Structure 1
Amino acid sequence: MRRRNSLSSRAPRATRTFVSLTGPAGNIGDALIRRETLAWSSGTSDELVAYVGDAPDVWLTQLGLPNDAIVLRSKKSVPRWLWFILTAPRHPVLVFEAGEIPLDRGNGLRELVFLAETIIVRLKRGVVVRPPRGIRAPSQPALSIHRLAARLSQVTLWRDATTLATARTGRLAPDIGFSAGVRPGRAWNERTELLVSLRGTRPLPDAEWVRAVRESAERAGLSIRTVVQVREDEDRARELAELLGGEFEAWGQTDPLEQEERLRQRYDAARLVISDRMHVLVLAALSGAVPIELVPQPTGKITKAFAAIGLDGVSFDATTTAPVRLREVLDATPERAAEVAERVRAAEASLTGIQQQIRAGIRRTRA
């Protein structure tokens, strides 16, 4: 356990909020959605308890954890986390982390723990919040346990319609990443770049894909730049820059917060951003760029999350899309950029309203 400031000299606090904020420091998208989850949690109680798993110190800085938060580190602190919940004063708040939930085989025990946490908080007449999430690889018994815990929570949100149908409870909401702030970016005629950021763990796109991207940039008078939002993708970005004849921008030793701001400035100046990383495209859209997933056999995650905010035509399968169509989808237009901007503004407003509703519900519970 780590306390950012000692609390030993203080009197016991009246209320307590628990928030889970685990994640890899080398993934700016994960840091982004955990930071927004923290924003939903901050100020809801007198005391904040955050579980960050095995994350390094830089992760705490990325998230902006307040100095007076109680921070629990590593899996060895899970019993202490549960003890804090069990001994919390009445009306605690429990906020699960946003993101993707794996419910494949082997996750049943973990889901039982989360169910127990939910039941304890409800018995204490507290509030359980599940921010917008997606379910991956649902299997039994983990799925059934998760469904029960979700039904017992006052706020259960899903970031895509498929997950909502699988969960059979809760409601649809935009991915929490859309609350990271709409940026004005540059005017359309001042945007000079086409950005590419692809996962390093998937096969390279073929020669037809490379040709289509290069020709699209040439037609629009854009320069190509490959960028890195996840550290493990750095080698892939270097490879793509060579293939595309573009400029490679490494992450290197740059501080994660500085890298995040540098990326957002790049998105501010881009007309088109091509990626199979969902939160690359979320940040690109928030900056006014046109987001496109154009890769071999996309998973569907990006399609579903953007469909939830009313934005279709974001994802395409490079292996089945005809060459002529490849060039069409890569021709970004100011009209498409305006549509993207309208949808992300609405998503941001929706998430702001949800957060206000949650805070009002907590106040009513404690009244």
Structure 2
Amino acid sequence: MGLAESARSSPPRTLVSLTGPAGNIGDALIRREALRWALGTSDELVVYTGDGPDVWLRQLGVPTGTRVLRGKRSVAKWLWLIATAPRHPVLVFEAGEVPLDRGNGLRELVFLAETLLVRLKGGVVVRPPRGIRAPTQPSAWLHARAARASQVTLWRDAESAALASGGTLAPDIGFAAGIRDGAPADARDELIVSLRGARPLPDAAWVDAVTRFAAATGLTITTVVQVREDEQRARELAALLGGTFAPWGTTDPLTHEAALRSRYDRARLVISDRMHVLVLAALSGAAPAELVPRPTAKISAAFATIGLTGITLDAAEHSADGMQRFLHDQLTRTDEVRARVADAATRLDTLETRMRGLIRAARA
């Protein structure tokens, strides 16, 4: 049997890129959802996890029998498996942020080559909801070409879609992670805070606003850790706010994720500058709020895509009274949050169904 005939008779192959840090619940969340989109699209599943440890595979729910490639040394094998894949392969890129700053040109050239190879084989290329960060040339030009050559290209914010000049605006894939009933409104008694450790501590006005808001609404303050590098910041915030610090510590990531989601189920409001903290909070029925000095546009843009605006306030430009008013306003929006999140989940289900239809049509 010749090579070409062997390829035609071989089972189809799906390849999924799933790199990411095991210490980031949000990254695991969106990659798990991207993997779920890929499951069942081929008889053979190949995933590339970079330097991800064993626990990363468990976090993502990588099925038994999957061919797993790990470490930079396996990149050549990954490219070989794309090049030698039977007809109609499926290639699924990672969901999340796409860094296009200087130094990423070669990587984007490789991704463009992967895309074109799959298309030449009659396959389907899927780019789950993503957002472009720090675009520079030639990385942005190469990425835009690859995105336009893909059959499914989704952007979680309008600016990224405009930069790429193509694709479809879609909710962040984290909104597909399951809507939860959570506790009834009158049983929700927590204000949860989770901020990035890499940014400066908020000032006294911010602390005053948050503590007075909690006192006025009868909420207890708890600081949580959704990204391991933020653990010390959560400890510091608990001390400043007179709240309770809920550490990650040595807890298994899957157990910790479950505990976080249960805590969001009991929260009335969650303050964070981590996007997927707010996504999980909204899925649990808590009001999400980004209240930090000089916030980036990342969170506000992604939530605007699902029709939820006004959840971000620049603490550097407002007094403690202004920040309190903002937080009180967010508490009145829980019905709106639930409606927008439900719409986002439905939209993602529709996009997944269309993607699977494209794959079936390509192989018909």
How many Å separate the matches in 1 of 2:318 and 2:154? 33
How many Å separate the matches in 1 of 2:314 and 2:332? 23
User: Which residue matches 1:194?
Assistant: 191
State the 1:335 CA deviation: 3.8
Residues 21, 52 of structure 2: 8 Å contact kept: yes
Relative to the length of structure 2, the TM-score reads: 0.97
Task: Encode CA deviations 1:264-306: one digit per residue, 9 max, x unaligned.
Answer: 0010000000000000000000000000000010011000000
User: Structure 2 vs 1, CA of residues 333 and 209 (structure 1 numbering), >3 Å: closer, same or farther?
Assistant: closer
User: Which residue matches 1:8?
Assistant: none
Out of 90, 95, 106, which is 1:93 matched to? 90
Q: Would you identify which runs of 4 or more consecutive aligned residues in structure 1 move more than 3 Å?
A: 332-335
The residue type paired with residue 70 of structure 2 is R
User: Which residue matches 2:299?
Assistant: 302
User: Which residue matches 2:207?
Assistant: 210
State the 1:329 CA deviation: 1.1
Residues 28, 256 of structure 1: 8 Å contact kept: yes
Residues 13, 47 of structure 1: 8 Å contact kept: no
State the 1:13 CA deviation: 4.4
SS at match of 1:58: helix
Task: Encode CA deviations 1:319-359: one digit per residue, 9 max, x unaligned.
Answer: 00233221111115664001000000000000001000000
User: Which residue matches 2:40?
Assistant: 43
Out of 130, 134, 138, which is 1:133 matched to? 130
Residues 13, 46 of structure 1: 8 Å contact kept: no
Q: Which runs of 5+ in 1 are unaligned?
A: 1-11
User: Which residue matches 2:250?
Assistant: 253
User: Which residue matches 2:308?
Assistant: 311
Q: Which runs of 5+ in 2 are unaligned?
A: 1-8
How many Å separate the matches in 2 of 1:322 and 1:132? 36
How many Å separate the matches in 2 of 1:97 and 1:48? 15
The residue type paired with residue 346 of structure 1 is D
Task: Encode CA deviations 1:242-280: one digit per residue, 9 max, x unaligned.
Answer: 000000000001110000010000100000000000000
How many Å separate the matches in 2 of 1:297 and 1:97? 28
How many Å separate the matches in 2 of 1:258 and 1:323? 36
The residue type paired with residue 350 of structure 2 is G
Q: What RMSD in Å do the two structures reach over aligned CA positions?
A: 0.9
Q: Between Structure 1 and Structure 2, how many residues are aligned? A: 356
Task: Encode CA deviations 1:28-69: one digit per residue, 9 max, x unaligned.
Answer: 000000000000101000000000001111000000000111
How many Å separate the matches in 2 of 1:266 and 1:332? 22
Out of 55, 74, 79, which is 1:77 matched to? 74
SS at match of 2:201: coil
Residues 19, 48 of structure 2: 8 Å contact kept: yes
SS at match of 1:203: coil
How many Å separate the matches in 2 of 1:316 and 1:37? 31
User: Which residue matches 1:109?
Assistant: 106
